[in-house]
A = this chain, B = another copy of it.
Amino acid sequence: MLEAYAERYRRDLVDAVIPFWLRHALDHEHGGYFTCLDRDGTVYDPRKYMWLQGRAVWMFARLYRELAPRDEWLAAARLGVDFIRRYGRDAEGRIFFSLTREGQPFFFQRKPYAAVFVQMGLFEYGLATGDQACLDEAVALFWRIVAWIEQPTLLGRPVLPGQVAVSQLADRLVVGMMALELARQLDDPRYDEVLRATVAGVLRHYDPAHRVFREVVAHDGRDLTALPEGRLFSPGHTIETVWILLQMLARNPDAQAQQVAFTALAGALELGWDTQYDGLFYFMDLAGRPTLQLEATMKLWWPHAEAIYALVLAYTLTREAHWLTWLERVDRYTYTHFVDPVHGEWFGYCDRRGDLALTSKGGNYKGFFHVPRALLFSLQAIDRMRD
């Protein structure tokens, strides 16, 4: 049964998703990638969003390294690396959020996420090509990002006296993602130390009453449930956390943590699934209060992409049939709502009822990343199970 999924995901990836981005995203004139693409690939914003530049570099290089060594994919990765190296950083080595099409700085965000995906792109491209300078840059950037997350003032974000020191689930995830890649490739025990600390950090976000990961918890453990961010649950984020946790635990096994991961996957699907109109909600308040996010009830592509891979992984690890039941449900919703059979690639944004809210295939938050990553990781997991 999983074979049929693998075959379909492979076709979607190779015949529809990758061609869409190769055809429309590459800026052969100024370098880098357009990501704001309408349904048919028309560019509706020519700016270069740095985290999506890094993500696309990572994806093209990973496809080259793990799916097939196609020159076209490596050339596409190089287009992004060259742009990032030439224009992406300020004098202090911090990564801009966005640049003009030509590479002039447009916006700097006081957050570490642009740097995270530049780091991942540089490292993966270094692995694909053996470019040692790229690998070294990526390693150095990793440690800077760890420092930026610990000390947001380094990015110019003031710490004000009314703030509680918190752990953002997103920060744990991105550190885990980066450290996983580094630990697998480099003979340096510090990365497994980071991974073990990240597992512990993620587990502090676990809410056993709701069986999900909370987005924000206090470093000192104090109760934040009087604040919306302390009650915030993102089904897609919990599900993404689950598979990253499972990958981290594959290196440093911990049966209890693995059980939390599986419980959270079931919990996020059960709580996050819209029983009225199907699909996963974007945000929820765990106490049933309104969220501050207007778009909370919308159905976005990426939680569904994350769920497909998390469910494939859970099944290949456990062979428990209930994961297949969920996979079938999520896969059906995804392929009837997000996948565009005409122009390839997935749409990103449906309203609660599943009607398309935007025709875009990419934007400043959606690029060449979640969809191809989920498809690649899923078919790789299925292949590994078969072997």
Contacts and interface: CB of A to CB of B under 8 A. Distances in A.
A185 interface: no
A358 B289 CA distance: 9
Given A160-B106, A160-B108, A228-B44, A291 B358 contact: yes
Contact of A161 (B104, B289, B294, B364): B104
Contacts of A45: 226-228, 292
Interface in A295-330: 295-298
A309 B106 CA distance: 38
A87 to B, nearest CB: 9
A223 to B, nearest CB: 13
Contact of A107 (B100, B105, B160, B285): B160
Nearest to A355: B352
B226 A349 contact: no
Nearest to A229: B45
Interface string A33-74: 000101000101111000000000000000000000000000
Contacts of A289: 38, 42, 44
Contacts of A44: 228, 285, 287, 289-290
Contacts of A355: 352
Interface string A86-126: 00000000001001101011111000000000000000000
Contacts of A156: 156
A106 B290 contact: no
Interface in A340-364: 349, 351-353, 355, 357-360, 363-364
Contacts of A189: none
Residue with the highest number of chain B CB atoms closer than 10 Å, among A44, A105, A107, A290: A290
B162 A106 contact: yes
A358 B283 CA distance: 12
B158 A108 contact: yes
Contacts of A352: 351, 355, 357
Nearest to A39: B290
A214 to B, nearest CB: 16
A104 B227 contact: no
Contacts of A353: 351, 353
8 closest A-B pairs by CB: A104-B162, A290-B360, A100-B162, A106-B162, A44-B289, A105-B160, A290-B358, A294-B295
